[in-house]
Amino acid sequence: MLSNNSRHKSLNLRSRARVAAFGLIAGLVSSIAVSGLMLMVEKVTSVPIGAFYLVLMSAITHSQVYSLNMIVSGLLLHLVAGSLIGLAMAVPFIVNNDNNKGRNSLGTIINKYAPLYGLGFGFALWSLLFIPITFWIVLPSLNTLEHRTIIQQAPTGTVAAIAPGDLLAMQNRIIGGALVFNMFYGLLVAIIIKSLYSDYLRKKVPLRDTITPSS
């Protein structure tokens, strides 16, 4: 009996870790997708590529040095944060995996309506995280950089340039666009987690059926 209990706890621990990994993977993949879309939007709108990450890191570090390292650091921070948020989104799936209480359990309902869960989570992410960071950190930082210009250069010369004042003038469009990006991120994370989780359950059930108690 003790051996069976230990085996059961070990299987539960590995199961929780696997579902948590689904969240990290989904968050990372979705963050990469959103980052790619953001860079495309910057390219189309003639905003210097990486301006978002540059402004973000300038606001966090209070640095007025514009460099490729700042952009890379901002991108890495975005990917790490996105992965951790994906882990947070996987919590209901982990709970449902541990305590399967039937069709009316919260985890089961979220699994069934994963796209709506993702969209709702994305909206909450925008309103509770993006908006406060924008108004309390980023915008005040931009106000201190009014006389500087963000420039994207190539060997042939300047490719794109924008002044912080112009970014401030675009804040309503940026905030509206961020809502779309955050909801897209939440939707994509939820769909990926649901897909990985459902596939995992299909493989897990036959495995359980093959385990018989030892005499």
pLDDT at 209: 45
At 43-79, the pLDDT tens digits run: 888 788 888 888 888 888 877 666 788 889 999 999 9
Determine the average pLDDT of the residues in 90-113: 71
Does the pLDDT at position 35 exceed 90? yes
- Tell me the pTM: 0.82
Higher-confidence residue: 10 or 95?
A: 95
Task: Check if the beta carbon of residue 86 is closer than 8 Å to that of residue 20.
Answer: no
Q: Please, where are the H alpha helices in 90-170?
A: 91-98, 106-112, 114-125, 131-133, 139-143, 164-169
Mean pLDDT of the chain: 81
Instruction: State the amino acid at position 114 in one-letter form.
Output: A
- Write the CB contacts of 158 (distance below 8 Å, at least 6 apart in sequence): 151, 152
